[in-house]
């Protein structure tokens, strides 16, 4: 598969933002608001990734304006008007930039605060998201654009059977021989 540069956010001021995504797969558009809710990891690859929960919520226009005033735009790298979701996990809070129209590719906006109370933008590759299943029993597949990491999340309280999980991975193009790890028992949330 060849490397692809995607322009996820189009023009921001006079600057174009390119997202390097060598593991990009053509897929359907993603309605980013379908990601809103609580999710738990059911599968990860490689084995090094640990199980975790995600709480994703939509952010308002007012919150986007406040974020711009608080953090700035990091030399036009962040377009707050194009950040619709806030993600909370054990790794902290970050934002998704993008509307999902490029086959579900969303940039990770991770902001760190330094010891001298300044904010810096953490370099993090974008992810490609796809949702499978009916409302309430969805599985969200996340592929790291720059690496080979893949995670599958189930909308809480749903828990897929191994057959459902493997079928979803197959539809996502993940070879069944590469099924390295199924994480999190349904009764154990880390």
Domain ranges of the chain: 5-178
Contacts of 125 (CB under 8 A, 6+ apart): 20, 21, 108, 144, 145, 146, 147
Token readout for 18 is: 């390119």
Higher pLDDT, 187 or 113: 113
Which H or E run contains 107?
strand 105-113
Q: How far is CA 22 from CA 6, 26, 129, in A?
A: 10, 12, 15
The tens digit of pLDDT for each residue in 74-84 reads 989 999 999 99
Pick among 1.10.1740, 2.40.128, 1.10.132, 1.10.472: CATH of 5-178 = 2.40.128
**What is the spatial distance between Cα 99 and Cα 176, in angstroms, rounded to a whole number?**
30
Judged against a pLDDT cut of 80, whether residue 175 lies above it is answered with: no
Token readout for 158 is: 């749903």
Judged against a pLDDT cut of 50, whether residue 13 lies above it is answered with: no
Cis check for the bond before 4: say yes or no (omega within 30 of 0): no
The stretch 127-144 carries a mean pLDDT of: 92
**What is the spatial distance between Cα 119 and Cα 71, in angstroms, rounded to a whole number?**
6
Q: How many CB atoms lie within 10 A of CB 133?
A: 15
- Provide the H-helix boundaries in 55-189: 61-71, 162-171
Amino acid 183: pLDDT: 58
Report the share of the chain in percent with pLDDT over 70.
78
Amino acid 4: pLDDT: 36
């Amino acid at each position: 598969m060849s490397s692809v540069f995607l322009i996820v956010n189009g023009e921001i001021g006079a600057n174009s933002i390119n997202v390097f995504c060598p593991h990009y797969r053509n897929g359907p558009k993603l309605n980013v608001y379908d990601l809103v809710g609580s999710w738990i990891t059911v599968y990860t690859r490689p084995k090094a990734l640990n199980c975790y929960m995600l709480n994703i919520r939509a952010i308002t226009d007012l919150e986007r304006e406040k974020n711009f005033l608080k953090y700035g735009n990091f030399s036009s790298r962040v377009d707050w008007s194009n950040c619709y979701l806030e993600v909370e996990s054990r790794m902290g809070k970050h934002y998704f930039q993008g509307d999902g129209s490029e086959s579900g590719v969303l940039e990770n906006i991770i902001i760190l605060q330094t010891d001298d109370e300044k904010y810096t933008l953490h370099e993090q590759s974008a992810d490609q998201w796809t949702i499978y299943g009916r409302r309430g029993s969805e599985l969200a597949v996340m592929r790291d654009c720059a690496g080979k990491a893949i995670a599958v999340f189930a909308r809480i309280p749903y828990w897929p059977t191994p057959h459902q999980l493997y079928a979803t991975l197959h539809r996502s193009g993940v070879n069944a021989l590469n099924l390295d790890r199924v994480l999190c028992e349904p009764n154990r949330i880390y």
